[in-house]
Chain A
Amino acid sequence: MKIKSQKDFWSGLMFIVAGVGFAIGATNYSFGTSARPGPGYFPFGLGILLAVLGAMVLFKALTIESEGGDPVGDIGWRPLILIVLGVVVFGLALPRLGMILSLPILIMISSLAGDEFKLKEVIINIIVLTIGSWAIFIKGLSLVIPLWPAFMTA
Protein backbone atom coordinates (compact mmCIF):
# COMPACT_ATOMS: atom_id res chain seq x y z
CA MET A 1 0.00 0.00 0.00
CA LYS A 2 1.32 3.37 -1.00
CA ILE A 3 0.69 6.57 0.94
CA LYS A 4 -0.72 9.13 -1.45
CA SER A 5 -0.70 12.09 0.90
CA GLN A 6 1.92 12.15 3.64
CA LYS A 7 0.33 15.06 5.49
CA ASP A 8 -3.12 13.52 5.57
CA PHE A 9 -1.73 10.12 6.49
CA TRP A 10 -0.06 11.42 9.63
CA SER A 11 -2.87 13.78 10.57
CA GLY A 12 -5.38 10.95 10.17
CA LEU A 13 -3.25 8.80 12.43
CA MET A 14 -2.98 11.63 14.95
CA PHE A 15 -6.77 12.08 15.05
CA ILE A 16 -7.34 8.34 15.49
CA VAL A 17 -4.83 8.09 18.34
CA ALA A 18 -6.22 11.17 20.09
CA GLY A 19 -9.83 10.05 19.61
CA VAL A 20 -9.25 6.51 20.82
CA GLY A 21 -7.13 7.82 23.70
CA PHE A 22 -9.85 10.16 24.91
CA ALA A 23 -12.54 7.51 24.43
CA ILE A 24 -10.56 4.96 26.50
CA GLY A 25 -9.86 7.60 29.11
CA ALA A 26 -13.56 8.42 29.25
CA THR A 27 -14.42 4.86 30.25
CA ASN A 28 -12.89 5.64 33.66
CA TYR A 29 -15.82 7.93 34.35
CA SER A 30 -19.45 7.07 34.78
CA PHE A 31 -21.12 6.91 31.38
CA GLY A 32 -24.68 7.32 32.58
CA THR A 33 -27.66 6.84 30.30
CA SER A 34 -29.00 9.07 27.57
CA ALA A 35 -31.59 10.36 30.01
CA ARG A 36 -28.95 11.03 32.66
CA PRO A 37 -25.63 11.52 30.89
CA GLY A 38 -22.64 11.12 33.21
CA PRO A 39 -19.23 12.77 33.05
CA GLY A 40 -17.94 10.16 30.59
CA TYR A 41 -20.82 10.49 28.12
CA PHE A 42 -19.75 13.49 26.05
CA PRO A 43 -15.98 12.78 25.88
CA PHE A 44 -16.61 9.14 24.92
CA GLY A 45 -18.90 10.10 22.06
CA LEU A 46 -16.56 12.84 20.87
CA GLY A 47 -13.54 10.53 21.04
CA ILE A 48 -15.26 7.93 18.88
CA LEU A 49 -16.39 10.58 16.41
CA LEU A 50 -12.87 11.97 16.17
CA ALA A 51 -11.44 8.51 15.56
CA VAL A 52 -14.00 7.94 12.78
CA LEU A 53 -13.09 11.23 11.11
CA GLY A 54 -9.41 10.36 11.52
CA ALA A 55 -10.06 7.06 9.76
CA MET A 56 -11.74 8.95 6.91
CA VAL A 57 -8.74 11.25 6.55
CA LEU A 58 -6.44 8.23 6.64
CA PHE A 59 -8.50 6.40 4.04
CA LYS A 60 -8.40 9.43 1.76
CA ALA A 61 -4.64 9.68 2.22
CA LEU A 62 -4.26 6.11 0.99
CA THR A 63 -6.64 6.26 -1.95
CA ILE A 64 -6.85 9.73 -3.47
CA GLU A 65 -3.88 10.90 -5.45
CA SER A 66 -2.45 14.25 -4.36
CA GLU A 67 0.04 16.52 -6.02
CA GLY A 68 3.60 15.33 -5.42
CA GLY A 69 2.57 13.09 -2.54
CA ASP A 70 1.94 16.11 -0.29
CA PRO A 71 5.10 15.56 1.73
CA VAL A 72 5.38 16.71 5.34
CA GLY A 73 8.82 18.12 4.61
CA ASP A 74 11.83 18.46 6.83
CA ILE A 75 11.26 19.17 10.47
CA GLY A 76 13.07 22.27 11.65
CA TRP A 77 14.65 20.61 14.66
CA ARG A 78 16.86 23.57 15.52
CA PRO A 79 14.10 26.17 15.98
CA LEU A 80 11.76 23.56 17.44
CA ILE A 81 14.18 22.48 20.16
CA LEU A 82 15.63 25.90 20.91
CA ILE A 83 12.32 27.79 21.07
CA VAL A 84 10.72 25.18 23.31
CA LEU A 85 13.88 24.94 25.41
CA GLY A 86 13.96 28.71 25.82
CA VAL A 87 10.37 28.75 27.10
CA VAL A 88 10.93 25.84 29.48
CA VAL A 89 14.16 27.30 30.87
CA PHE A 90 12.39 30.62 31.34
CA GLY A 91 9.61 28.85 33.26
CA LEU A 92 12.13 27.17 35.52
CA ALA A 93 14.33 30.22 35.98
CA LEU A 94 11.80 32.99 36.61
CA PRO A 95 10.80 32.05 40.20
CA ARG A 96 14.45 31.45 41.12
CA LEU A 97 16.50 33.97 39.15
CA GLY A 98 13.93 36.71 38.64
CA MET A 99 13.06 38.50 35.42
CA ILE A 100 16.35 40.39 35.33
CA LEU A 101 18.21 37.16 34.51
CA SER A 102 15.61 34.82 33.04
CA LEU A 103 14.47 37.18 30.30
CA PRO A 104 18.01 37.59 28.88
CA ILE A 105 18.40 33.80 29.00
CA LEU A 106 15.15 33.37 27.07
CA ILE A 107 16.10 35.95 24.45
CA MET A 108 19.58 34.49 24.07
CA ILE A 109 18.35 30.92 23.59
CA SER A 110 15.55 31.89 21.23
CA SER A 111 17.82 34.14 19.16
CA LEU A 112 20.05 31.12 18.57
CA ALA A 113 17.07 29.46 16.89
CA GLY A 114 17.24 31.82 13.93
CA ASP A 115 19.91 31.66 11.26
CA GLU A 116 21.04 35.28 11.51
CA PHE A 117 22.59 35.33 14.99
CA LYS A 118 24.69 38.42 15.68
CA LEU A 119 25.84 38.80 19.27
CA LYS A 120 25.83 42.57 19.22
CA GLU A 121 22.26 42.75 17.97
CA VAL A 122 21.09 40.16 20.44
CA ILE A 123 22.61 42.12 23.33
CA ILE A 124 20.85 45.28 22.18
CA ASN A 125 17.62 43.32 21.90
CA ILE A 126 18.10 41.92 25.42
CA ILE A 127 18.67 45.35 26.93
CA VAL A 128 15.71 46.94 25.14
CA LEU A 129 13.30 44.08 25.86
CA THR A 130 14.27 43.62 29.50
CA ILE A 131 13.92 47.29 30.31
CA GLY A 132 10.76 47.49 28.22
CA SER A 133 9.18 44.50 29.98
CA TRP A 134 10.09 45.95 33.36
CA ALA A 135 8.50 49.25 32.41
CA ILE A 136 5.34 47.68 30.96
CA PHE A 137 4.63 44.75 33.22
CA ILE A 138 6.14 45.63 36.61
CA LYS A 139 6.05 49.42 36.58
CA GLY A 140 3.06 50.03 34.30
CA LEU A 141 0.67 47.16 35.01
CA SER A 142 2.09 46.44 38.50
CA LEU A 143 1.95 42.70 38.00
CA VAL A 144 3.55 40.47 40.60
CA ILE A 145 6.65 39.19 38.84
CA PRO A 146 9.91 38.45 40.67
CA LEU A 147 12.42 40.97 39.32
CA TRP A 148 15.58 40.07 41.22
CA PRO A 149 17.00 36.58 41.87
CA ALA A 150 15.60 34.84 44.96
CA PHE A 151 19.02 34.71 46.67
CA MET A 152 19.31 38.48 46.50
CA THR A 153 15.89 39.32 47.87
CA ALA A 154 15.92 36.67 50.64
Chain B
Amino acid sequence: MAVAASRVATRRPARTRPRLPEQVAWLTPLLVIATLFFLWPVVNVIRLAFTDTTLLRDGYSYTLQTFSQTLTDPSLPQVLGVTAIFVGASVAGQLLFGLAIALILQRAVARRLHGAVLVRSVVLSAWVMPGILIGVIWQIVLNEGPFGLVNSALAAVGLGPVAFLSDTDLAVASAVTANIWRGTAFTMLLLYAALQTVNDELLDAAKVDGAGRMRTLWHVTLPQIRPVLLVNAILITIATLNTFDMILALTGGGPAQATEVLALRTYNSVFVNFNLASGCVFAVFLLGASLLLTVIYRRILREDDE
Protein backbone atom coordinates (compact mmCIF):
# COMPACT_ATOMS: atom_id res chain seq x y z
CA MET B 1 0.00 0.00 0.00
CA ALA B 2 2.81 2.32 0.98
CA VAL B 3 4.70 1.45 -2.18
CA ALA B 4 1.64 2.14 -4.30
CA ALA B 5 1.07 5.45 -2.62
CA SER B 6 4.66 6.49 -3.21
CA ARG B 7 4.30 5.54 -6.95
CA VAL B 8 1.24 7.76 -7.23
CA ALA B 9 3.11 10.51 -5.47
CA THR B 10 6.06 10.28 -7.84
CA ARG B 11 3.83 10.14 -10.95
CA ARG B 12 1.61 13.07 -10.04
CA PRO B 13 3.91 15.89 -11.24
CA ALA B 14 4.21 14.20 -14.63
CA ARG B 15 0.43 14.34 -15.07
CA THR B 16 0.24 18.13 -14.71
CA ARG B 17 -0.63 19.86 -17.94
CA PRO B 18 2.51 21.17 -19.74
CA ARG B 19 2.76 24.91 -20.02
CA LEU B 20 1.91 26.57 -23.34
CA PRO B 21 5.52 27.22 -24.46
CA GLU B 22 6.31 23.55 -23.84
CA GLN B 23 3.25 22.46 -25.80
CA VAL B 24 4.25 24.70 -28.70
CA ALA B 25 7.81 23.40 -28.64
CA TRP B 26 6.57 19.81 -28.78
CA LEU B 27 3.94 20.38 -31.45
CA THR B 28 5.74 22.80 -33.78
CA PRO B 29 7.88 20.24 -35.67
CA LEU B 30 4.86 18.01 -36.16
CA LEU B 31 2.71 20.89 -37.34
CA VAL B 32 5.40 22.12 -39.73
CA ILE B 33 5.89 18.67 -41.25
CA ALA B 34 2.14 18.00 -41.48
CA THR B 35 1.52 21.40 -43.09
CA LEU B 36 4.40 21.16 -45.56
CA PHE B 37 3.99 17.57 -46.67
CA PHE B 38 0.28 16.83 -46.14
CA LEU B 39 -1.92 19.86 -45.64
CA TRP B 40 -0.33 22.19 -48.22
CA PRO B 41 -0.42 19.65 -51.10
CA VAL B 42 -4.03 18.78 -50.23
CA VAL B 43 -5.07 22.45 -50.15
CA ASN B 44 -3.23 23.00 -53.44
CA VAL B 45 -4.98 20.06 -55.14
CA ILE B 46 -8.38 21.37 -54.00
CA ARG B 47 -7.47 24.87 -55.21
CA LEU B 48 -6.25 23.64 -58.63
CA ALA B 49 -9.46 21.64 -59.07
CA PHE B 50 -11.23 24.99 -59.39
CA THR B 51 -8.93 26.21 -62.18
CA ASP B 52 -8.29 25.43 -65.85
CA THR B 53 -4.60 24.65 -65.32
CA THR B 54 -2.74 22.26 -67.64
CA LEU B 55 0.74 20.76 -67.64
CA LEU B 56 1.61 22.88 -70.67
CA ARG B 57 0.67 26.40 -69.57
CA ASP B 58 2.04 28.50 -66.75
CA GLY B 59 -0.99 30.70 -66.21
CA TYR B 60 -4.50 29.67 -65.23
CA SER B 61 -7.77 31.18 -64.15
CA TYR B 62 -10.30 30.12 -61.55
CA THR B 63 -13.40 28.43 -62.94
CA LEU B 64 -16.11 25.94 -62.04
CA GLN B 65 -16.11 24.59 -65.59
CA THR B 66 -13.61 21.80 -64.90
CA PHE B 67 -15.79 20.51 -62.08
CA SER B 68 -18.97 20.73 -64.13
CA GLN B 69 -17.35 19.06 -67.16
CA THR B 70 -16.04 16.25 -65.00
CA LEU B 71 -19.36 15.74 -63.24
CA THR B 72 -21.28 15.63 -66.53
CA ASP B 73 -18.79 13.31 -68.25
CA PRO B 74 -20.92 10.37 -69.46
CA SER B 75 -18.19 7.89 -68.51
CA LEU B 76 -18.01 9.07 -64.87
CA PRO B 77 -20.73 6.71 -63.54
CA GLN B 78 -18.88 3.79 -65.18
CA VAL B 79 -15.57 4.83 -63.57
CA LEU B 80 -17.18 5.31 -60.13
CA GLY B 81 -19.05 2.00 -60.43
CA VAL B 82 -15.93 0.06 -61.37
CA THR B 83 -14.04 1.76 -58.52
CA ALA B 84 -16.74 0.80 -56.00
CA ILE B 85 -16.74 -2.84 -57.16
CA PHE B 86 -12.93 -2.98 -57.25
CA VAL B 87 -12.54 -1.49 -53.76
CA GLY B 88 -15.49 -3.34 -52.14
CA ALA B 89 -14.60 -6.76 -53.54
CA SER B 90 -10.86 -6.30 -52.90
CA VAL B 91 -11.36 -5.24 -49.26
CA ALA B 92 -13.83 -8.07 -48.58
CA GLY B 93 -11.57 -10.63 -50.26
CA GLN B 94 -8.42 -9.44 -48.51
CA LEU B 95 -10.13 -9.50 -45.11
CA LEU B 96 -11.58 -12.96 -45.69
CA PHE B 97 -8.43 -14.60 -47.04
CA GLY B 98 -6.14 -12.68 -44.67
CA LEU B 99 -8.15 -13.86 -41.68
CA ALA B 100 -8.31 -17.44 -42.96
CA ILE B 101 -4.54 -17.63 -43.48
CA ALA B 102 -3.87 -15.97 -40.12
CA LEU B 103 -6.10 -18.53 -38.35
CA ILE B 104 -4.48 -21.44 -40.18
CA LEU B 105 -1.03 -20.12 -39.35
CA GLN B 106 -1.97 -19.65 -35.70
CA ARG B 107 -3.14 -23.23 -35.47
CA ALA B 108 -0.06 -24.47 -37.30
CA VAL B 109 2.23 -22.61 -34.90
CA ALA B 110 0.24 -23.84 -31.87
CA ARG B 111 0.64 -27.41 -33.10
CA ARG B 112 4.32 -26.80 -33.89
CA LEU B 113 3.83 -27.87 -37.49
CA HIS B 114 6.73 -27.43 -39.88
CA GLY B 115 6.42 -24.92 -42.68
CA ALA B 116 4.40 -22.20 -40.93
CA VAL B 117 7.23 -19.69 -41.36
CA LEU B 118 7.64 -20.71 -44.99
CA VAL B 119 3.92 -20.17 -45.66
CA ARG B 120 4.08 -16.75 -44.00
CA SER B 121 7.11 -15.80 -46.10
CA VAL B 122 5.53 -16.98 -49.34
CA VAL B 123 2.33 -15.00 -48.67
CA LEU B 124 4.38 -11.94 -47.73
CA SER B 125 6.39 -12.11 -50.96
CA ALA B 126 3.26 -11.07 -52.90
CA TRP B 127 2.90 -8.00 -50.71
CA VAL B 128 6.46 -6.74 -51.18
CA MET B 129 6.30 -6.93 -54.99
CA PRO B 130 5.75 -3.68 -56.93
CA GLY B 131 2.26 -3.30 -58.40
CA ILE B 132 3.59 -3.15 -61.97
CA LEU B 133 5.28 -6.53 -61.53
CA ILE B 134 2.10 -8.04 -60.10
CA GLY B 135 0.17 -6.74 -63.11
CA VAL B 136 2.69 -8.35 -65.48
CA ILE B 137 2.62 -11.66 -63.56
CA TRP B 138 -1.18 -11.84 -63.63
CA GLN B 139 -1.24 -10.93 -67.30
CA ILE B 140 0.95 -13.96 -67.98
CA VAL B 141 -1.29 -16.10 -65.76
CA LEU B 142 -4.58 -14.93 -67.29
CA ASN B 143 -3.45 -14.34 -70.88
CA GLU B 144 -6.03 -15.54 -73.35
CA GLY B 145 -3.50 -16.73 -75.90
CA PRO B 146 -2.50 -20.37 -76.09
CA PHE B 147 0.38 -19.59 -73.71
CA GLY B 148 -1.66 -18.15 -70.80
CA LEU B 149 -1.08 -20.35 -67.76
CA VAL B 150 -4.70 -20.78 -66.65
CA ASN B 151 -6.04 -21.13 -70.18
CA SER B 152 -3.31 -23.67 -71.01
CA ALA B 153 -4.37 -25.73 -67.99
CA LEU B 154 -8.03 -25.45 -69.00
CA ALA B 155 -7.18 -26.42 -72.58
CA ALA B 156 -5.43 -29.55 -71.28
CA VAL B 157 -8.76 -30.77 -69.87
CA GLY B 158 -10.72 -29.65 -72.90
CA LEU B 159 -12.07 -26.40 -71.48
CA GLY B 160 -11.76 -22.72 -72.34
CA PRO B 161 -10.32 -20.45 -73.38
CA VAL B 162 -11.85 -18.06 -70.86
CA ALA B 163 -11.82 -14.35 -71.73
CA PHE B 164 -10.34 -13.30 -68.38
CA LEU B 165 -9.09 -9.93 -69.64
CA SER B 166 -11.11 -9.18 -72.79
CA ASP B 167 -14.60 -9.72 -71.35
CA THR B 168 -15.66 -6.47 -69.68
CA ASP B 169 -17.09 -8.21 -66.57
CA LEU B 170 -14.42 -10.86 -66.20
CA ALA B 171 -11.70 -8.22 -66.60
CA VAL B 172 -12.95 -6.46 -63.44
CA ALA B 173 -13.06 -9.81 -61.61
CA SER B 174 -9.48 -10.51 -62.79
CA ALA B 175 -8.26 -7.14 -61.52
CA VAL B 176 -9.96 -7.79 -58.16
CA THR B 177 -8.38 -11.27 -57.95
CA ALA B 178 -4.90 -9.87 -58.63
CA ASN B 179 -5.43 -7.16 -56.02
CA ILE B 180 -6.63 -9.65 -53.40
CA TRP B 181 -3.56 -11.78 -54.10
CA ARG B 182 -1.40 -8.71 -53.64
CA GLY B 183 -3.01 -7.35 -50.45
CA THR B 184 -3.95 -10.46 -48.49
CA ALA B 185 -0.52 -10.70 -46.86
CA PHE B 186 -0.86 -7.31 -45.18
CA THR B 187 -4.19 -8.30 -43.62
CA MET B 188 -2.77 -11.68 -42.65
CA LEU B 189 0.14 -9.98 -40.90
CA LEU B 190 -2.04 -7.59 -38.87
CA LEU B 191 -4.65 -10.19 -37.96
CA TYR B 192 -2.05 -12.80 -37.06
CA ALA B 193 -0.56 -10.30 -34.59
CA ALA B 194 -4.07 -9.47 -33.28
CA LEU B 195 -4.88 -13.15 -32.80
CA GLN B 196 -1.91 -13.45 -30.43
CA THR B 197 -3.63 -10.96 -28.11
CA VAL B 198 -6.89 -12.95 -27.78
CA ASN B 199 -7.29 -14.07 -24.18
CA ASP B 200 -6.75 -17.85 -23.95
CA GLU B 201 -9.04 -18.03 -20.91
CA LEU B 202 -11.96 -16.79 -23.02
CA LEU B 203 -11.26 -19.43 -25.67
CA ASP B 204 -11.01 -22.13 -22.99
CA ALA B 205 -14.28 -20.94 -21.43
CA ALA B 206 -16.01 -21.12 -24.82
CA LYS B 207 -14.69 -24.65 -25.27
CA VAL B 208 -15.95 -25.67 -21.82
CA ASP B 209 -19.36 -24.19 -22.70
CA GLY B 210 -19.44 -26.45 -25.76
CA ALA B 211 -19.04 -23.80 -28.46
CA GLY B 212 -17.79 -25.14 -31.81
CA ARG B 213 -14.94 -23.60 -33.80
CA MET B 214 -17.16 -21.35 -35.90
CA ARG B 215 -19.18 -20.09 -32.90
CA THR B 216 -15.96 -19.45 -30.97
CA LEU B 217 -14.58 -17.56 -33.95
CA TRP B 218 -17.74 -15.49 -34.40
CA HIS B 219 -18.59 -14.78 -30.74
CA VAL B 220 -15.17 -14.71 -29.06
CA THR B 221 -12.24 -14.26 -31.45
CA LEU B 222 -13.68 -11.71 -33.89
CA PRO B 223 -15.08 -9.36 -31.20
CA GLN B 224 -11.67 -9.48 -29.50
CA ILE B 225 -9.80 -8.43 -32.65
CA ARG B 226 -12.51 -6.07 -33.93
CA PRO B 227 -10.46 -2.85 -33.44
CA VAL B 228 -7.59 -4.28 -35.47
CA LEU B 229 -10.03 -5.51 -38.12
CA LEU B 230 -11.45 -2.01 -38.48
CA VAL B 231 -8.06 -0.28 -38.62
CA ASN B 232 -7.00 -2.87 -41.17
CA ALA B 233 -10.14 -2.21 -43.21
CA ILE B 234 -9.39 1.55 -43.23
CA LEU B 235 -5.80 0.99 -44.38
CA ILE B 236 -6.60 -1.47 -47.17
CA THR B 237 -9.56 0.59 -48.37
CA ILE B 238 -7.35 3.65 -48.82
CA ALA B 239 -4.57 1.57 -50.41
CA THR B 240 -7.04 -0.03 -52.87
CA LEU B 241 -8.64 3.30 -53.75
CA ASN B 242 -5.19 4.57 -54.71
CA THR B 243 -4.23 1.48 -56.74
CA PHE B 244 -3.56 2.14 -60.40
CA ASP B 245 -0.09 0.74 -61.15
CA MET B 246 -1.19 -2.88 -61.08
CA ILE B 247 -4.23 -2.20 -63.29
CA LEU B 248 -2.10 -0.15 -65.68
CA ALA B 249 0.16 -3.17 -66.24
CA LEU B 250 -2.64 -5.75 -66.22
CA THR B 251 -5.28 -4.18 -68.50
CA GLY B 252 -4.31 -0.53 -68.97
CA GLY B 253 -7.87 0.25 -67.88
CA GLY B 254 -9.37 -1.73 -70.76
CA PRO B 255 -10.97 -3.32 -72.57
CA ALA B 256 -12.37 0.11 -73.47
CA GLN B 257 -12.85 1.56 -69.96
CA ALA B 258 -14.00 -1.60 -68.21
CA THR B 259 -11.26 -1.53 -65.56
CA GLU B 260 -10.52 2.19 -65.44
CA VAL B 261 -10.74 3.01 -61.74
CA LEU B 262 -10.70 6.52 -60.30
CA ALA B 263 -6.95 6.50 -59.53
CA LEU B 264 -6.14 5.41 -63.10
CA ARG B 265 -8.47 8.08 -64.51
CA THR B 266 -6.61 10.67 -62.41
CA TYR B 267 -3.30 9.47 -63.81
CA ASN B 268 -4.63 9.50 -67.40
CA SER B 269 -6.08 13.00 -67.01
CA VAL B 270 -2.76 14.43 -65.93
CA PHE B 271 -0.22 12.43 -67.92
CA VAL B 272 -2.16 11.66 -71.11
CA ASN B 273 -4.49 14.63 -71.49
CA PHE B 274 -2.07 17.09 -69.76
CA ASN B 275 -5.24 18.20 -67.92
CA LEU B 276 -3.94 18.96 -64.44
CA ALA B 277 -7.19 20.62 -63.31
CA SER B 278 -9.31 17.61 -64.22
CA GLY B 279 -6.76 15.31 -62.55
CA CYS B 280 -7.12 17.43 -59.40
CA VAL B 281 -10.93 17.07 -59.54
CA PHE B 282 -10.57 13.29 -59.64
CA ALA B 283 -7.99 13.49 -56.82
CA VAL B 284 -10.53 15.46 -54.76
CA PHE B 285 -13.07 12.67 -55.39
CA LEU B 286 -10.50 10.14 -54.20
CA LEU B 287 -9.73 12.22 -51.12
CA GLY B 288 -13.45 12.60 -50.38
CA ALA B 289 -14.08 8.87 -50.73
CA SER B 290 -11.12 8.04 -48.45
CA LEU B 291 -12.25 10.57 -45.81
CA LEU B 292 -15.86 9.41 -45.93
CA LEU B 293 -14.94 5.75 -45.50
CA THR B 294 -12.49 6.62 -42.72
CA VAL B 295 -15.19 8.55 -40.86
CA ILE B 296 -17.62 5.63 -41.20
CA TYR B 297 -15.04 3.14 -39.94
CA ARG B 298 -14.08 5.45 -37.05
CA ARG B 299 -17.70 5.85 -36.06
CA ILE B 300 -18.10 2.08 -35.94
CA LEU B 301 -14.89 1.86 -33.92
CA ARG B 302 -16.06 4.55 -31.46
CA GLU B 303 -19.44 2.85 -30.99
CA ASP B 304 -17.50 -0.30 -30.30
CA ASP B 305 -15.39 1.41 -27.61
CA GLU B 306 -18.46 2.89 -25.97
Asked if A and B are interacting partners, one says: no
Enumerate chain A interface residues (CB-CB to B < 8 A).
none
